[in-house]
């Protein structure tokens, strides 16, 4: 594993399949279009966390039938009308034995052994397997990545400890296990960047519009032209269901278009949606490093140019868009996540999980002003 790898998304080159090659061939297009409208039996491994419910709802909206598989710990009352098989991916897959599904969406694979075991068990019982990976699988972020870029390696391939350091390399190994068990023809691998929108329990993207809604002087990192990329959870869900419905195989980064959006755009959109104007205080990287302001929950979605993932927000998403991924305007994402946020109880909204606390932000702004008086 690359030393000093940035711990940015925890929440070997993949030769062979490429998105474009494995995508929809002209000859198969008609057949796939036809199958798009067929009602499928879909098994979702992990459908009750953040992104899973959006996929489940989209699949139900398109009249597919869903079976859930999880431990029954997260939001267990969310889908009372759906069949739920209770089991732990680490120790008990027995509920999946002897069953058939048209497609499997693997949302909860963080450990290679778990992905290997479920893919092995399901390989002969399903027509298509879709694995949710991450852009954190890439080895290096000093240049923009595309689907063929080198993947991160991990020395201890047996470790099952998922940390900020091991998350990306373990997801790369999970991808490899899925490929070994399922084969490239029937496998889709999606690599989302930061996922945002209603239901996001990390508050990493949400911090910016939520903080904007409070007004006053607001600290912003770097400069307004700094690029930013996310994926709206609903766009990811739509594309996921498209992939299983149309049997689109291959590997796809799922991100907003590279260089289409910046931190300055995020400020503008946050102000426009919330109807609140802030007084932005843009602080530079040396200042952020000096005060360790980017650390941990400090400034989410900030990746220093001098850090180890400077080009993370220039990941190519063109293959996914060619295969049908649609990215809604980020202003719409902000609008919907703010309505969701307002619907949450006080104990949740009074303690966001990312971003500067009010006191820390005031301290930093005062220090910046003093240094630049």
Under the binding rule (CB under 6 A), the answer on residue 112 touching ligand NAP is no
Task: Compute CA distances 63 → 37, 148, 160, 245, 308, whole Å.
Answer: 9, 35, 37, 11, 44
| Residue 47 binding ligand NAP, by CB under 6 A | yes
Pairing of strands 41-45, 101-106: parallel
* Shortest Cβ 194–ligand NAP spacing (Å): 5
Question: Is the alpha carbon torsion for 267, 272, 274, 280 positive or negative?
Answer: positive
Q: Which is nearer to ligand NAP, 10 or 360 (CB)?
A: 10
Instruction: Fill in the per-residue mask, 49 to 68: x = in contact with ligand NAP (CB under 6 A), - = not in contact.
Output: xxxx----------------
Structural element, H or E, at residue 264: helix 263-274
Give the span between the Cα atoms of 142 and 63, in whole angstroms: 43
Minimum Å gap between C-beta 372 and ligand NAP is 34
- Footprint of ligand NAP on residues 189-248 (CB under 6 A)? 192, 194-195, 202
Which residue from 67, 84, 108, 327 is in contact with ligand NAP, where contact means CB under 6 A?
108
Extended strands (E) in 17-133: 41-45, 65-70, 83-86, 101-106, 126-132
> How far is it, in rounded angstroms, from Cα 345 to Cα 342?
8
Please give the Cα distance from 147 to 278 (Å, whole number): 38
Using CB under 6 A, which residues numbered 123 to 182 contact ligand NAP?
132, 134
**Please, which residues have CB within 8 angstroms of residue 140's CB and are 6 or more apart in sequence?**
2, 149, 150
The residue sitting closest to ligand NAP, measured at its beta carbon, is 49
Half-sphere exposure of 21 (CA within 13 A, CB side): 8
Q: Which of 16, 72, 286, 329 binds ligand NAP (CB under 6 A)?
A: 72
**What DSSP designation does 362 have?**
H
Q: Which stretch binds ligand NAP (CB under 6 A): 35-43, 95-103, 105-113, 364-372?
A: 105-113
Q: Which of 5, 6, 8, 9 binds ligand NAP (CB under 6 A)?
A: 9
Q: Is residue 73 involved in binding ligand NAP (CB under 6 A)?
A: yes
Nearer to ligand NAP, 297 or 360 (CB): 297
The rounded distance, in Å, linking the Cα atoms of 23 and 51 is: 24
Q: How far apart are CB 237 and ligand NAP at their closest, in Å?
A: 11
Q: Which of positions 270-309 make contact with ligand NAP (CB under 6 A)?
A: none
Longest dimension (CA), the chain: 71
The contact mask relative to ligand NAP for 18-37 (x = CB under 6 A, - = no) is --------------------
Applying CB under 6 A, the residues found at the interface with ligand NAP are 9, 11, 46-52, 70-74, 88-90, 107-109, 132, 134, 192, 194-195, 202
């Amino acid at each position: 594993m690359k030393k000093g790898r940035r711990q940015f998304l925890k929440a070997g080159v993949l030769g062979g399949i490429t998105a474009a090659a494995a995508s929809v061939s002209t000859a198969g297009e008609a057949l796939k279009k036809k199958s798009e409208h067929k009602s499928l039996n879909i098994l979702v491994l992990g459908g009750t966390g953040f992104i899973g419910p959006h996929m489940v709802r989209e699949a139900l909206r398109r009249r597919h039938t869903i079976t859930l598989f999880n431990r029954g710990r997260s939001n267990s009352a969310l889908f009372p009308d759906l069949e739920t098989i209770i089991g732990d991916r680490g120790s008990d897959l027995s509920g999946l034995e002897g069953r058939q599904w048209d497609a499997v969406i693997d949302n909860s694979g963080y450990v290679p052994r778990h992905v290997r075991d479920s893919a092995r068990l399901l390989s002969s019982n399903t027509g298509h397997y879709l694995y949710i990976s991450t852009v954190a699988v890439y080895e290096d972020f000093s240049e923009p990545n595309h689907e063929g870029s080198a993947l991160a390696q991990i020395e201890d391939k047996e470790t099952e400890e998922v940390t900020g350091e091991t998350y990306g390399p373990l997801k790369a190994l999970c991808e490899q296990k899925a490929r070994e068990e399922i084969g490239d023809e029937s496998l889709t691998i999606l690599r989302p960047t930061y996922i945002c929108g209603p239901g996001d329990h990390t508050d990493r993207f949400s911090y910016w519009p939520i903080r904007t809604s409070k007004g006053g002087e607001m600290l912003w990192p770097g400069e307004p032209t700094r690029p930013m990329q996310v994926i709206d959870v609903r766009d990811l869900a739509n594309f996921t269901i498209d992939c299983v419905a149309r049997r689109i195989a291959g590997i796809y980064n799922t991100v907003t278009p590279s260089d289409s959006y910046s931190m300055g755009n995020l400020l503008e959109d946050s102000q426009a949606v919330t109807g609140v104007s802030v007084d932005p205080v843009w602080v530079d990287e040396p200042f952020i490093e000096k005060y360790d302001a980017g650390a941990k929950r400090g400034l989410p979605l900030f990746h220093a140019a001098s850090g180890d993932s400077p080009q993370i927000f220039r990941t190519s998403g063109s293959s996914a868009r060619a295969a049908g991924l649609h990215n809604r305007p980020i202003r719409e994402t902000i609008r919907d996540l703010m309505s969701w946020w307002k619907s949450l109880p006080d104990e949740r909204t009074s303690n966001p999980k990312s971003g500067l606390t009010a006191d820390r932000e005031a301290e930093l702004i005062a220090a910046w002003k003093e240094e630049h008086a």
